[in-house]
Amino acid sequence: MSCALVNHLSVIVVTIFTLYALLFVLFLSLKYALNTLTLLQPDDWHAHLRDGLALKRTVPDLAKQFARAICMPNLVPPVKTVEEALAYRERILAHVPEGLNFDPRMVLYFTDHTPPDEVRKIKDSEFVNAIKLYPAGATTNSDNGVSEIRKVYAVSEQLEKHQVPLLLHGEVTHNHVDIFDREKRFLDEILSPLLKQFPKLKVVLEHITTSDAANFVLEQDRNVAATITPQHLLFNRNDMLVGGVKPHFYCLPILKRQTHQTTLLEVATSGNPKFFLGTDSAPHAQHAKENACGCAGCYSAPNAIELYAQAFDQVGKLERLEGFASIFGADFYGLPRNTSTITLVKEENTVAESFDYLDGQKIIPLHAGKTLQWRKV
């Protein structure tokens, strides 16, 4: 065999190996691209952190997931003034782990006796962004809530005037109304008349759970939006009740039928800016959940963005997650979008069975011991 032929063959072999190497690198690059997701840093527009010793657990869990969070005011006693909200914010900031930039955004607790001039104080505050209306008795620590919507029309007028968001727990509390119908009744009997009286009122219907609520929001102008939790996207009442009662799925508003879950997934993944992330993560010690009268609330903070990624991935809409998690809420509140990013990797991620909570107690996270398909790195 001539030297020229040998050299020619050598060039061919080297070329083939180079092509294979390039194809292999391309394959790995594509595989990495298909199995990673980079998002603008998300925010949680509805979270419960509690107070005191609970903050040692709840603040780091939430701060590792989100840049900002709307921190709900249903403490004991509730946070009713701007001054109280700012003091609560300082208590939260004291528990943010070193190296994390976490910005708690505060909310006042709406009562029958909230003075109208408190709205101007909210508007002028750098860190207080909204007021939260709990119908009296609707959920945890809501006994001081609004007893009759017309009693707070003077404050609502100021909220509309100053464009301060009104956050709503959208359920009636009449004992004779079926628990699965309370959201729909709230829309018909309270929210519709309120918006008729104050059509420019800026409203967030929190943690919606029904097709009725989703469609209601879609029918309103841009001043009405909604948050959706991970549990209402991933689960329905069968998950809570079939095969035995599972208390860690119990929350308020309660999980509804699968048909409602399907609608929530459709609107959450639609790219419509009226719908954005709000975990409603709510901590309760294990013994308070697992008893004859278990507390309402799912603790999703430690794995929140992975739970949402799982829900969006299940319907093939991962490309819509960034808007829902990182953009639409900031835009609605008139706050700047975050500029930092996070990365999610598609790999098995087992949710912890429990976490330490308070003094020697445990807290059970949502989906404890189960495997998610995404992990925040």
Residue numbers annotated as active site: 280
Distance CA 78, CA 75 (A): 4
- Tell me the DSSP string of 108-152: EEP-TT--TTHHHHHHH-SSEEEEEE-BTTSSTT-TTSBS-GGGG
CA distances from 142 to 137, 173, 186, 248 (A): 5, 11, 16, 20
Cα–Cα distance for residue pair 214/18, rounded to 1 Å:
55
Q: Which of 206, 196, 129 lies closest to 163, judged by CA? A: 129
CA trace torsion 301, 318, 372, 92 (10° rounding): -10
Token pair 């709406």 in the structure block, residue: 110
* Distance of alpha carbon 328 from the chain centroid: 12
Q: Are 201 and 160 in contact (CB under 8 A)?
A: yes
Query: In a 3-state reduction of DSSP, which class is residue 102?
Result: coil
Position 326: which residue type? S
